[in-house]
Structure 1
């Protein structure tokens, strides 16, 4: 079993086809197909169900792909460790972040890191907190910036709290609450909400505060980014709640403090196995001791 064969299998699984996988791996499709067929023969099981219209992982493939990813990541990590030992930080830095990061100026920090370590390949993914933590746990991401309720516990990762804050209400300029300095949570609960998906870490920041106060709310619009939440609120379709530090960056909305206010923490998380040399250098640049 060779790393290149694993790389081909993972590419097919991620792209959904042999042609696209071959393009990603910069090989002709026949060579990629031949190597996967050799691997399947060695394993004694088919990894993909192929039809004229689709390629799907078999049960054996579903079991194989996560382990193959780990093997590829371990090989890349080994190479990066050797290079770091010789005095040069290389490899990759895969960063994840929610759209409501306020504790750090992420674009600036990535720019500073790129200037200092030009041979590190940097990538960024924007997703919800739970998905990001899962990807760090699996090794698909090296570092992620997430937002969680203060009491939330993470598993399989290391973390540091970067900031604590409150959520504030945001409403359209012509809303009855616009211009008010503060309102009660019970008053806001009478409004229709624009919010993140039910069960997400971002949604729990508000839901837990409402639940503690014995309140419920109607969510008519579910979004995945703060920017789209702001667009819908600006259009008068509902009200929203966002981190206080972010509210001032959303033009065309009126901010209202709420009591009792939902609380949140921003955290940076990294692998429980310890950071790669590139991830360690990035964390240290943020003033975080990766241990």
Structure 2
């Protein structure tokens, strides 16, 4: 359906005659009549009953005009949307993030972002961090959350969000929990006699664990290995074992008197990881992509400043 032809037919119907419509459209009457004939030939039916005054629609004409109005409305809406996109008030932002990290970062970023850009569609690509750089370079994602980039790619811009320590969760009946107040800073060798629940090889946390054990010459007792650090933590707590866990995933914000979980901060700068928000250099940076980055950089992504304050205040020493 040709939009110009459709607008001509609508105008003829509104004006009640071809001659009146031709004047309103600033076209000649023969040109307008020819345009109507072209459409009638295309659909194989007459659109107007020319025997009536004012001119009226045939049944085929009614169906045609109904569809024409819908098409013109769609075209109008598209024009408005494209105008918004030109102003960068709407669009789509494709974000690459692991499921666990998305649960940490996105609830802090998206409320403010959605307030500023309610018409921007968010699409998540949830996969492992190791695949994110390639997806950025291939244009499959606009932004990606990355962990501990060892060798930075010159084609990618990295915005540092935070540094993360590892914590060691310990069941309440472990020797470690009985000897040392929770939320203390410890060396991993304090847990050398404990039984570990480990992340499987290939997991970022497992790489950190293996490095720790190698540096200290430890050969830990292992209960089992799992793909899920959350499962590792929960098993350690329920089975009176220990498990290493990323600091930013800690979610316990219970009142002081209600703390059920015991964990310890691992000493050593070499046992920290850095988090980045990244995008491809040279890519067009929309206003909303820049806003997302700014919001993310202004949020203090730290695990439990309250818990750390409690330990500094000596509260951990009184923990039962």
Task: Answer yes or no: is 1:258 the counterpart of 2:262.
Answer: no
Task: Answer yes or no: is 1:121 the counterpart of 2:121.
Answer: yes
- Give the superposition deviation at 1:115: 2.4
Matches within 5 A, 1:141-152: 141-148=141-148, 152=150
- Give the superposition deviation at 1:140: 2.3
The aligned length equals 204
When residues 186 and 133 of structure 1 are mapped into structure 2, their CA distance, relative to the original with a 3 A threshold, is same
- Give the superposition deviation at 1:270: 1.7
Q: Do the aligned partners of 2:233 and 2:244 also contact (CA within 8 Å) in 1? A: no
Q: How far apart in 2 are the matches of 1:216 and 1:137?
A: 40
Give the stretch that moved more between structures: 138-147 or 165-174.
Answer: 138-147
Q: How far apart in 2 are the matches of 1:284 and 1:142?
A: 15
When residues 228 and 109 of structure 1 are mapped into structure 2, their CA distance, relative to the original with a 3 A threshold, is same
SS of residue paired to 1:267: strand
- Give the superposition deviation at 1:244: 3.4
SS of residue paired to 2:176: coil
- Give the superposition deviation at 1:170: 0.6
Task: Answer yes or no: is 1:279 the counterpart of 2:289.
Answer: yes
Q: How far apart in 2 are the matches of 1:217 and 1:138?
A: 41
Q: How far apart in 2 are the matches of 1:83 and 1:201?
A: 44
Matches within 5 A, 1:58-73: none
Q: Do the aligned partners of 1:128 and 1:201 also contact (CA within 8 Å) in 2? A: no
Give the equivalent residue in structure 1 for 2:306. none
- Give the superposition deviation at 1:105: 4.6
Q: How far apart in 2 are the matches of 1:83 and 1:227?
A: 45
- Give the superposition deviation at 1:159: 0.9
Q: Gapped runs of 5+ residues in structure 2?
A: 1-81, 254-258, 299-320
Task: Answer yes or no: is 1:107 the counterpart of 2:107.
Answer: yes
Give the equivalent residue in structure 1 for 2:161. 162
- Give the superposition deviation at 1:147: 2.6
Q: How far apart in 2 are the matches of 1:84 and 1:255?
A: 49
1:99-145 Cα distance to aligned partner (Å, 9 max, x none): 5549x752131122122222221123444321333333332222222
Q: How far apart in 2 are the matches of 1:196 and 1:139?
A: 31
User: Rg: which structure is higher?
Assistant: 2
Q: How far apart in 2 are the matches of 1:273 and 1:214?
A: 46
Q: Gapped runs of 5+ residues in structure 1?
A: 1-81
- Give the superposition deviation at 1:276: 4.5
Give the equivalent residue in structure 2 for 1:88. 88
SS of residue paired to 1:177: helix
- Give the superposition deviation at 1:178: 1.6
1:232-272 Cα distance to aligned partner (Å, 9 max, x none): 22221742112335435287421123344621112112223
1:204 to 183, 201, 207: 207
Q: How far apart in 2 are the matches of 1:141 and 1:233?
A: 36
1:249 to 238, 243, 252: 252
Give the equivalent residue in structure 2 for 1:175. 174
Give the equivalent residue in structure 2 for 1:221. 225
Q: Do the aligned partners of 1:142 and 1:271 also contact (CA within 8 Å) in 2? A: yes
Q: Do the aligned partners of 1:178 and 1:256 also contact (CA within 8 Å) in 2? A: no
- Give the superposition deviation at 1:192: 3.6
When residues 164 and 112 of structure 1 are mapped into structure 2, their CA distance, relative to the original with a 3 A threshold, is same
Q: Do the aligned partners of 2:166 and 2:272 also contact (CA within 8 Å) in 1? A: yes
